[in-house]
Structure 1
Amino acid sequence: MKHGLSGLSLAIALSLLVTGCVTERTYTGTDIPVSERKLDKVAAARERMQLGLTYLNRGNSEQAKYNLDKAIEYAPELEDVHVAMAYYYQTVGDLVRTEQAYQDAINTKDASGDSMNNFGVFLCQQKQYDKAEKMFLAAIEMPKYTRTASSYENLGICSRDAGQTEKARQYFQMALKYDPRRSVSLLELAELGLDKGDYVDAQNQLARYHQVAAQTPESLTLGIKIEQALNDDAAMKRFGILLLAKFPASPQAKQYRVNLHQ
């Protein structure tokens, strides 16, 4: 089975509340301060970004683009506005401009590992596997980046999609070193173990998976396959019973019933 890549939500601005910046100035001849509103370009850019993404989520791409353009005009060095523009272009299906917007984001002076990770997700989805790998690794190298396990897991998924199973296995193992509870990495390693013929390791990885994640039709079916490969009929039957009891309407359960009567 294939698992999805992990990126931050690109509708990042929807939760931001921004206002203009108020400054005080004292005029000659009086000590009374007079408040006046001064345009805070970064705050204005975030406000435009929020508005643009709101319009995009409502399906109004014209107003979305107008406000996102304004956001970039106000603060061209703000990373988030370029990420938001990448989200806009990806939503409307302009993949060339999506890539350019991500490039603009990671070229800002305060570029973060999160943008690099999201760019890597996009590149992997476009089957640009080498570029994606470089971008995920660049994210991991950022000093204040906290989502290292997520990026290693993305590297594993991307390597698997590229047909590089051994590299995928190594990256999934790295993800688990940073976060032993990453269920996707555990399930992927169980699948890779089964495919490689390392059935005991596959069994161990699946057991670890079931310690941190709920049973699913996919995981129980994988258990059936692993125990079948190990010639353990009793264990295979236990997984089958669980599959039929918990997920009777699932395609996996229906196929299991067919297999029982063959």
Structure 2
Amino acid sequence: MGLKMNQSKLVLPLVLILSSVMTTGCVTQDTYAGTDTPVSERKVDKVAAARQRIQLGLTYLQKGNSEQAKANLDRALAFAPNLEEVHIAFAYYYQSVGELEKTEQAYREAIDSSDATGDSYNNFGAFLCQQGKYAESEKMFLKAVDQPLYTRSASTYENLGICSRKAGQMSKAQSYFAMALNYDPRRRTSLIELTEIDYEEGKYAEAREQLSRYHRVAAESAGSLALGIKIEQGLNDQEAVRRFGILLLAKFPQSVQAKEYRASMH
């Protein structure tokens, strides 16, 4: 995709599997029939127990203990086989250990669950995009933003833009990045992606404006300054090229971009 200033990453929101509301075998209280005398009876809240097992499983996975991770996720599945969070956790587990077919199956079970949320669709869309299944990933992302109560539309539209760009669909990518910015005008990735696309398409004036918007919300980087140099070269504005070059050499003298700029001056 031309200039690689920042590795564009698909946005995976923190899903419910990391919920802090995780309790073990909750105690419920009944009363004797015809009286107000309480009877304490331990009834396992299966959803809460499943969530605790999910948390344990993910903790083990983060520590590199995939065997104990899988054991706890299996227990979670036994407690609540229809819980979306269980299948999202399995998808994360399987992707972590490189079982991509099982990852996809786990995501399909998550979106088929009765409590499926936009997070499942978004994360499944990101996975499909990573596998190069662009058309299906687009469908999943669009389903995510259509879910009631979904609040991460900006992230998902940005994912749609990234994936469309990977698929070579630049016009569609621009539309999706613009949608992301409608929801959140300060999204840095969407701004820099639009800048790169405009530059690659020879729309240097538009690229200049997008880069200016980017620098209003994000700190200058070696990559963004190098992109500024190339945009101004396209506009044949040598004074602006010099200004960007001075900033690049002053702020990031050891960067690859600074070395390339020095070489181009000789």
Q: Return the TM-score normalized by structure 2.
A: 0.94
Give the conservation status (yes or no) of the 8 Å contact 2:15–2:119: no
Q: CA deviation at 1:11?
A: 8.8
Distance 2:212 2:112 in 1: 43
2:28 is aligned with what amino acid?
T
Give the conservation status (yes or no) of the 8 Å contact 2:22–2:49: no
Q: CA deviation at 1:260?
A: 1.3
- Is residue 216 from structure 1 mapped to residue 221 from structure 2 by the alignment? yes
Give the conservation status (yes or no) of the 8 Å contact 1:11–1:53: no
Equivalence for 1:97: 102
Equivalence for 1:178: 183
- Is residue 235 from structure 1 mapped to residue 240 from structure 2 by the alignment? yes
SS at match of 2:53: helix
- Is residue 72 from structure 1 mapped to residue 74 from structure 2 by the alignment? no
2:208 is aligned with what amino acid?
Q
Question: In the alignment, which of 143, 147, 157 is matched to residue 152 of structure 2?
Answer: 147
Distance 2:33 2:104 in 1: 53
Indicate the structure whose relative CO is greater, using CA pairs within 8 Å and at least 6 residues apart.
2
Deviation string 1:69-93 (CA, Å, 9 cap, x unpaired) is 1111111121111100000000000
Question: In the alignment, which of 84, 88, 93 is matched to residue 88 of structure 1?
Answer: 93
Distance 1:31 1:206 in 2: 70
Q: Structure 1 residue runs of 4+, over 6 Å off?
A: none
Deviation string 1:196-255 (CA, Å, 9 cap, x unpaired) is 111110000000000011111111111000000000011111111111111111111111
Cα distance change on mapping 1:11 and 1:224 into 2, 3 Å: farther
1:95 is aligned with what amino acid?
L
Deviation string 1:155-196 (CA, Å, 9 cap, x unpaired) is 111011011111111111111111111111111111111111
Equivalence for 2:249: 244
Q: CA deviation at 1:58?
A: 1.1
Q: CA deviation at 1:15?
A: 4.0
SS at match of 2:248: helix
Give the conservation status (yes or no) of the 8 Å contact 1:11–1:87: no
Question: In the alignment, which of 165, 170, 173 is matched to residue 170 of structure 2?
Answer: 165
Gaps of 5+ in 1: none
Equivalence for 2:117: 112
- Is residue 57 from structure 1 mapped to residue 75 from structure 2 by the alignment? no
> How much identity, in percent, do the aligned residues show?
63
State how many pairs are aligned: 261
Q: Give the stretch that moved more between structures: 25-34 or 111-120.
A: 25-34
Gaps of 5+ in 2: none
Cα distance change on mapping 1:114 and 1:11 into 2, 3 Å: closer
Give the conservation status (yes or no) of the 8 Å contact 1:78–1:108: yes
2:162 is aligned with what amino acid?
I
2:240 is aligned with what amino acid?
A
Q: Return the TM-score normalized by structure 1.
A: 0.95
